[in-house]
């Protein structure tokens, strides 16, 4: 009974007991428990050990007649249990994932405070893909304006949701171009002396060869602001006009989209399944204008197929995103002495079930795809083109044998990128009778559409919308057409009548055009009539005339594609 009486007359001893057991209980029930379960380090065993330690430590204090013996023993047990898990955990993990007992973080925080005090104006630190940091310049360093110029190039683009920032050479220096939701806009012009220093500074930060001013170089550029790290892909190359620089934010994320996220209508997904499922092989032409998501669409199409039951490969001029279970082959000019078409043929001989070809326009590729020896492979052939009809004309011409090319064709996927209305600030309005009719609404039925806003009301004040930065749009999605050839379309393609063959494919399966698919998105409130008009306005730039034998057919195809 002596210990009980002793504790009843003591004030500080119960407080010490409480101050030691509660933090230990919190640490083992949150930090240790969660870490052990996340890493599968026998969480139930460690939970039992920690509970026994907790009970045993408290028992030492309560049962031993001398507090100053029992209390240190309890602390020793608590520290021993935590130290044991720490050593067990770190022995099974790489050094980068070891526990940091705050000493390292305190040192980093102290160094960061000192750096901010010394530098004053510097807000970010650049680093390469391995985490190696480029030490920011001090106030007295002549490189400080160059660092701040690099910051101004990258930092303001983030809240604007810019996917890309470019430095384009011009007679006056370099034009700063920002790309937001596929829309390119000029931001400013930097003098040549200043812009060249910024380019060299960022190349050095990303770990590129600063002496190489002509060859294309690609690297990962990191930007740390406090505890936040942003990742960019930096591409630098040169020409007689000067060096060019492209900075793409989170490029890998942009390329990672499932097929049902890129913009297909349900009926179009069904058409794709019918065109390629349970079919030994054939060609699917994928046509999208430059800069509007051709690579993203191609990778999304590949993901339709199971990489663990099928042999899926690619032949790409630049591998921008690697998919699990898929063999990506990168072709470079001059490597191994083989041209692109020869590399495609070499991969085809290995008998893949599915092959993505990133450049159908390359000479010699189309004949490989339509060769009888390739009949067991499904090809996704990418081509940057303004329309599916133009891509089809090019495919038939380059194949050499229009009949074989027509028989090998399984589908044409073509479209353009549409900006999506911002859900926070889009403005509803009632469609006119003519608009409702164009969108297929029943006569006399009220149809609510939406248009871009850019502003919201906050406490009786109209302010720029923070979600879209007053642009009225957030994100992009494709509007596509998916066409499949029937017997009549194959006959027309064999004779070189591309325009009528294209229309026949559309009529045979009642397939909506890309513009009609875009109007579906208008009716659902995803985009606006003005955006559809902008995207599908006829292109004024004249296409390069094809060979004499097919000039008329290709010209008609391009004209038809501009209207679709």
Do 376 and 270 fall into the same domain? yes
Helix/strand/coil for 479 = strand
* Residues 261 and 408 placed together within one structural domain of the fold: yes
Say whether both 131 and 17 belong to one domain. Answer: no
Q: Taking residues 431-449, what's their average pLDDT? A: 87
pLDDT higher than 80, residue 64: yes
Residue 539 confidence (pLDDT) = 67
List, edge to edge, every strand of the sheet that includes 125-128. Answer: 125-128, 217-225, 228-239, 242-249, 164-170, 173-180, 183-191
**What DSSP string describes 443-478?**
TT---EEEE---EEEETTEEEE-TTTTTSSEEEEEE
Q: Which of 249, 268, 284 is the last residue of a domain?
A: 249
Question: Does residue 433 fall inside a structural domain?
Answer: no
Q: Do 480 and 337 share a structural domain? A: yes
Whether residue 219 is found in the same domain as residue 276? no
pLDDT at 91 over 80: no
User: Which H, E and C letters describe 34-87, residue by residue?
Assistant: HHHHHHCCCHHHHHHHHHHHHHHHHHHHHHCCCHHHHHHHHHHHHHHHHHHHHH
498 within a domain of the structure (yes/no): yes
Overall number of domains in the chain: 3
Q: Sorting pLDDT into bands at 50, 70 and 90, what band is 189?
A: very high
Pair (156, 15) in one structural domain: no
Whether residue 555 has pLDDT greater than 60: no
Among the ranges given (59-73, 104-118, 205-219, 301-315), the one the predictor scored with the smallest mean pLDDT: 104-118
Q: How far apart are CA 93 and CA 106, in angstroms?
A: 23
pLDDT for 463 equals 86
Task: Give the pLDDT confidence of 4-49 residue by residue, as tens digits.
Answer: 444 445 777 888 888 888 888 888 888 888 777 766 678 788 888 9
147 with 265, same domain: the answer is: no
Domain with 533 in it: what CATH number?
A: 3.40.50.300
Q: Is the model's pLDDT at 554 over the cut of 80?
A: no
With respect to residue 436, please indicate whether it lies within any of the assigned structural domains: no
Say if 501 falls within a structural domain. yes
Helix axes 388-399, 498-508, angle to 10 degrees: 120
| 231 and 263 housed in the same domain | no
Same domain, 376 and 272: yes
Distances (CA, A) of 521 to 427, 509, 533: 15, 21, 13
Whether residue 110 is contained in a domain is answered as no
Whether residue 105 lies inside any domain: the answer is no
**CA gap 203, 219 in Å, rounded:** 9
In this structure, is residue 189 part of a structural domain? yes
Ranking 3-12, 89-98, 333-342, 354-363 by mean pLDDT, the lowest is 3-12
Residue 241: CATH number of its domain? 3.30.450.90
pTM higher than the cut 0.75: no
385, 516: one domain: yes
**224 touches 133 (CB < 8 A):** yes
CA distance 390 to 400: 16
For residue 11, the model assigns a pLDDT of: 77
E strand or H helix at 426: none
Alpha carbons 112 and 114: distance in angstroms, whole number: 5
Asked if 46 and 149 sit in the same domain, the reply is no
Counting residues of the chain whose pLDDT is more than 90, the rounded percentage is 51
Claim to verify: residue 495 and residue 386 sit in the same structural domain: yes
Range of the domain at 7: 2-97
Strands 378-384 and 282-288: parallel
Integer Cα distance of 191 and 27 in angstroms: 57
Look at residues 186, 218, 249 and tell me which one is the last residue of a structural domain. 249
Task: Give the separation between CA 308 and CA 348, rounded to whole angstroms.
Answer: 19
Whether residue 448 lies inside any domain: the answer is no
- Determine the Cα–Cα distance for residues 500 and 169; give it in Å rounded to an integer: 44
The whole-chain average pLDDT of the chain stands at: 85
The stretch 203-231 carries a mean pLDDT of 90
Cβ burial, residue 434 (10 Å; 0-12/13-18/19+): exposed
Domain stops at, among 234, 249, 264: 249
Residue 273's closest CA among 312, 295, 301, 296?
Answer: 301
């Amino acid at each position: 009974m002596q210990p009980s009486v002793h504790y009843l007359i003591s004030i500080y001893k119960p407080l010490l007991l409480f101050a030691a057991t509660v933090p230990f209980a919190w640490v083992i029930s949150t930090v240790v428990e969660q870490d052990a379960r996340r890493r599968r380090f026998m969480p139930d065993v460690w939970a039992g050990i920690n509970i026994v330690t907790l009970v045993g430590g408290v028992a030492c204090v309560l049962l031993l007649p001398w507090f100053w013996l029992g209390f240190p023993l309890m602390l020793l047990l608590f520290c021993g249990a935590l130290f044991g898990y720490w050593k067990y955990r770190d022995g099974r993990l790489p050094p980068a994932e070891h526990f940091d007992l705050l000493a390292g973080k305190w040192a980093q925080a102290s160094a960061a405070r000192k750096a901010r005090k010394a530098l004053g104006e510097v807000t970010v630190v650049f680093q390469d893909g391995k985490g190696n940091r480029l030490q920011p310049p001090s106030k007295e360093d002549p490189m400080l304006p160059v660092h701040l110029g690099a910051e101004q190039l990258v930092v303001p683009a983030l809240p604007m949701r810019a996917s890309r920032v470019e430095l384009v050479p011009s007679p006056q220096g370099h034009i700063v171009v920002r790309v937001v939701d596929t829309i390119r806009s000029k931001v400013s012009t930097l003098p040549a002396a200043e812009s060249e220093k910024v380019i060299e500074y960022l190349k050095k930060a990303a770990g590129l060869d600063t002496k190489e001013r002509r060859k294309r170089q690609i690297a990962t550029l990191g930007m740390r602001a406090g505890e936040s790290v942003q990742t960019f892909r930096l591409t630098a190359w040169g020409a007689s006009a000067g060096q060019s620089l492209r900075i793409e934010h989170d490029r890998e994320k942009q390329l990672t989209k499932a097929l049902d996220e890129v913009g297909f209508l349900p009926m179009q997904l069904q058409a794709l399944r019918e065109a390629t499922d349970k079919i030994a092989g054939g060609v699917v032409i994928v046509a999208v204008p430059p800069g509007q998501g051709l690579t993203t669409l191609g990778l999304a199409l590949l993901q339709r197929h199971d990489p663990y039951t099928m042999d899926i490969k690619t032949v790409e001029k630049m591998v921008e995103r690697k998919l699990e279970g898929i063999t990506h082959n990168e072709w470079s000019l001059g490597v191994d002495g083989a041209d692109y078409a020869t590399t495609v043929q070499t991969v085809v001989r290995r008998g893949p079930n599915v092959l993505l070809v990133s450049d159908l326009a390359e000479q010699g590729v189309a004949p490989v795809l339509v060769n009888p020896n390739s009949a067991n492979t499904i090809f996704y052939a990418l081509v940057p083109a303004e329309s599916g009809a133009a891509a089809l004309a090019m495919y038939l011409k380059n194949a050499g044998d229009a009949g074989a090319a027509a028989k090998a064709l399984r589908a044409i996927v073509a479209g353009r990128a549409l900006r999506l209305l911002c859900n926070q600030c889009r403005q509803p309005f009632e469609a006119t009778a003519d608009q409702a009719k164009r969108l297929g609404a029943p006569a006399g039925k009220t149809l609510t559409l939406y248009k871009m806003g850019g502003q919201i009301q906050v406490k009786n004040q109209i302010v720029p919308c923070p979600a879209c930065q007053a642009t009225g749009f957030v994100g992009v999605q494709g509007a596509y057409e998916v066409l499949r050839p029937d017997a009549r379309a194959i006959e027309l393609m064999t004779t070189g009548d591309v325009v009528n063959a294209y229309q026949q494919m559309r009529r045979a399966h009642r397939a909506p055009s890309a513009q009609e698919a875009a109007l579906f998105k208008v009716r659902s409130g995803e985009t606006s009539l003005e955006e559809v008009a902008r995207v599908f306005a006829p292109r004024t730039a004249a296409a390069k005339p094809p060979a004499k034998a097919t000039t008329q057919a290709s010209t008609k195809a391009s004209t038809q594609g501009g209207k679709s």
